[in-house]
């Protein structure tokens, strides 16, 4: 493996203007705020956070679906903006959350899977056919299922189609945005196992976005925790789950309900104020919900404090 990181993100920021009325001044919503990280080739970076924390916006920027307001995305050492659409497609592919909206209902499965090959423009018909068949087989679908429409498949089968489509160009990187959240537990396990197996066999790099920490722990080698547009803690998976340093990470971990009877429902102590990306508090952005907040948190912005493999952004850790 080369030393060039599969994904490198530098100072990425994205601001949305939200118009509230015809004459009102647009409000600025900072969805992703100065995020930097790199993902070594062959590893899995898990990104966790609550809805509205900016994780999907981040994924869309890395996929080139949304231009950043500022900052750079480098895929395999090359600036995303410099890659043409075909070259980008050969490097990075997505798997989305909802297998019901991620497949065009009017096309047959084999045409959906063939789409990235066809878009390359220089692959012969026989070759396309062969590789589509290969990809379908790889994800556990039969050739007969290839001639069906998405509405004739179950949720798990649809997600397999989406994975086949992502892999047919043999990309290096796959961005999985909540790939199992819309699935039943038994199907979720099948898809997670498939993703793990494909990664091992094909040497893929995953950016794995999820709100489910148990799932992230299972697949990710490193984890980044996002809160209101920033990564507040990043570490190796084991270290992060064993000793979370940021109070938010701790709260997230505490609120995971593992199937262990008798433990009761934990008290995460976050209160009922919800984070609002249009109204980011001064100081540490987590302080209004933080059970450990003290006076300095409300006006002093915490700096990055390095840990084993990443950093944490909390005044408590600075001390």
Partner 1 sequence: MSALLDVRNLRVTFGGTAAVRGASLTVEKGETHCLVGESGCGKSVTALALMGLLARGGKREADALSFAGQDIRNLGERDMSRLRGDRMAMIVQEPMTSLNPADTVGSQLTEVLRRHRGASRAQAVDRAAELLGRVGITAPGLRLGQYPHQLSGGLRQRVMIAMALMCDPELLIADEPTTALDVTVQAQILRLLAELQAEFGLGILLITHDLGVVARIADRVSVMYAGEVVESAPTAELFAAPQHPYTRGLLTCVPVPGKVKRGEPLGSIPGVVPRIPPGFVGCSFRDRCAYAHAACKHDIPRQHAGPDHEALCTLPPGWTDRAAA
Partner 2 sequence: MSVTVVPGTGAARRLLRNIGFVVGATIVGVTLIVAILAPWITPYDPFAVDLVHRLVPPSFMEDGTPANFLGTDQLGRDYLSRLIYGARISMIIGIATVITSGIIGTTLGILGGFYGGRMDDVVMFLITARLSIPVVLVALAVAGLLGSSFILVILVLGLLLWDRFAVVARSTTMQIRTLDYVSAAWCAGSSQASVLLREILPNIATHLAVVATLEMALAILLEAALSFLGLGVPAPLPSWGLMIAEAKEYMFFTPWVILVPGIALFVLVLGVNLLGDALRDLLGTDLNR
Taking the least distance from each CB to partner 2, the nearer of 164 and 284 is 164
- Residues of this chain that interact with partner 2 (CB under 8 A) are 60, 63-65, 85-86, 88-90, 92-94, 96-98, 101-107, 115-116, 119-120, 149, 151-152, 162, 165, 169
The answer to whether 246 touches 314, Cβ cutoff 8 Å, is yes
| β-pairing verdict for 92-95 and 230-236 | unpaired
Angstrom CA distances, 108 to 53, 119, 148, stand at 35, 16, 5
CB of 267 to partner 1, least distance (A): 6
Residue 186 touching partner 1 (CB under 8 A): yes
Residue 24 touching partner 1 (CB under 8 A): no
Task: With CB under 8 A as the rule, give the number of residues binding partner 1.
Answer: 51
Taking the least distance from each CB to partner 1, the nearer of 98 and 254 is 254
For residue 30, list its beta bridge partners. 15
Residue 4 tokens, joined: 């060039």
The residue with tokens 């952004």 is 313
CB of 39 to partner 1, least distance (A): 16
Which of partner 2, partner 1, none does residue 1 bind to, with CB < 5 to 8 Å depending on kind?
none
Residue 263 touching partner 1 (CB under 8 A): yes
Taking the least distance from each CB to partner 1, the nearer of 11 and 100 is 100
Angstrom CA distances, 44 to 33, 38, 41, 122, 219, stand at 22, 11, 9, 31, 7
CA distance 299 to 227: 18
Taking the least distance from each CB to partner 2, the nearer of 102 and 188 is 102
CA distance 170 to 164: 10
Binding segment for partner 1 (CB under 8 A), chosen from 91-99, 109-117, 120-128, 210-218, is 210-218
Q: For the chain, percent helix, then strand, then coil, each to nearest 5?
A: 35, 25, 45
CB of 123 to partner 2, least distance (A): 12
DSSP 303: P
Angstrom CA distances, 75 to 28, 124, 285, 291, stand at 28, 27, 30, 38
CA distance 241 to 69: 33
The answer to whether 86 touches 92, Cβ cutoff 8 Å, is no
Binding segment for partner 1 (CB under 8 A), chosen from 91-99, 125-133, 205-213, 278-286, is 205-213
Binding segment for partner 1 (CB under 8 A), chosen from 76-84, 88-96, 257-265, 280-288, is 257-265
CB of 253 to partner 2, least distance (A): 29
Closest CA to 64 of 89, 90, 39: 89
Binding segment for partner 1 (CB under 8 A), chosen from 103-111, 116-124, 180-188, 297-305, is 180-188
Query: Cα–chain-centroid distance for residue 107?
Result: 27
CB of 103 to partner 2, least distance (A): 6
Which of partner 1, partner 2, none does residue 106 bind to, with CB < 5 to 8 Å depending on kind?
partner 2
Under the rule (CB under 8 A), what is the footprint of partner 1? Answer: 50-51, 154-157, 184-190, 192-193, 196-197, 200, 211-215, 217-221, 237, 241, 251-268, 270, 272, 274
């Amino acid at each position: 493996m080369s030393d060039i990181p599969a994904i490198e993100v530098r100072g990425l920021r994205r601001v949305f203007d939200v118009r509230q009325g015809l004459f009102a001044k647009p409000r600025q919503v900072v969805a992703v705020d100065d995020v930097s990280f790199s993902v070594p080739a062959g590893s899995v970076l898990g990104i966790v956070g609550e809805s509205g924390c900016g994780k999907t916006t981040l994924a869309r920027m890395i996929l080139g679906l949304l231009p950043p307001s500022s900052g750079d995305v480098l895929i395999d050492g090359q600036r995303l903006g410099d890659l043409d659409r075909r070259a980008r497609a050969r490097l990075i592919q997505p798997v989305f959350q909802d297998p019901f909206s991620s497949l065009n209902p009017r096309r047959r499965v084999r045409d959906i899977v063939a789409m990235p090959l066809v878009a390359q423009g220089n692959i012969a018909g026989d070759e396309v056919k062969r590789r589509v068949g290969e990809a379908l087989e790889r994800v556990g679908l039969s050739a007969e299922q290839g001639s069906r429409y998405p509405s004739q498949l179950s949720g798990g089968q649809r997600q397999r189609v989406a994975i086949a489509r992502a892999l047919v160009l043999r990309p290096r990187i796959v961005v999985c945005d909540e790939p199992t959240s819309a699935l039943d537990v038994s199907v979720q396990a099948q898809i997670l196992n498939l993703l793990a197996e494909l990664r091992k066999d094909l040497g893929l790099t995953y950016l794995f976005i999820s709100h489910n920490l148990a799932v992230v722990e299972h697949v990710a080698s490193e984890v980044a925790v996002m809160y209101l547009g920033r990564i507040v803690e990043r570490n190796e998976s084991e270290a992060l789950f064993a000793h979370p340093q940021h109070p938010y990470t701790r709260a997230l971990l505490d609120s995971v309900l593992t199937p262990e009877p008798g433990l009761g429902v934990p008290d995460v102590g976050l209160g009922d104020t919800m984070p609002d990306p249009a109204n980011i508090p001064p100081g540490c952005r987590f302080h209004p919900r933080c059970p450990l907040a003290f006076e300095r948190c409300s006006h002093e912005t915490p700096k990055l404090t390095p840990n084993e493999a990443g950093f944490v952004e909390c005044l408590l850790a600075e001390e």
